[in-house]
Amino acid sequence: MAKQAPASTASNGGASEKPAEMTPEQREQQRKACEQLQNFDLGKTMANATKSVVSEALNEVKQEKEAEAKNKAKDKIKGLFKKPHI
């Protein structure tokens, strides 16, 4: 009968086996990960990300408008100093 018992646990696919004991380093790492998840604020993270994206978009628009205004000013100045056609 002793030989039949190991064969039956092998046929279960090892489902009844206990997981391996964790080392103290693994336990500490898992504890730190749990603390980080508990302290994680999704709302704040999303707000910061949204603020960052909007800020970058506004800066890009501002730079485009400044470049457009600069080009218009250059064109006006070039128009004033064109050689007269005789």
Cα Rg of the chain, angstroms: 35
User: Does residue 75 fall inside a structural domain?
Assistant: yes
Tally of domains within the chain: 1
User: Does residue 69 fall inside a structural domain?
Assistant: yes
Long-range CB contacts (< 8 A, 24+ apart) of 31-38? none
53 is in which domain, residue-wise?
Answer: 44-81
Token pair, residue 51, equals: 């603020």
At 15 the pLDDT is 55
Give this prediction's pTM: 0.46
User: Does residue 25 fall inside a structural domain?
Assistant: no
User: Does residue 4 fall inside a structural domain?
Assistant: no
User: Does residue 29 fall inside a structural domain?
Assistant: no
What is the DSSP secondary-structure string of 19-35? PPPPPHHHHHHHHHHHH
- Quick: pLDDT tens for 24-45: 899 999 999 999 888 888 899 9
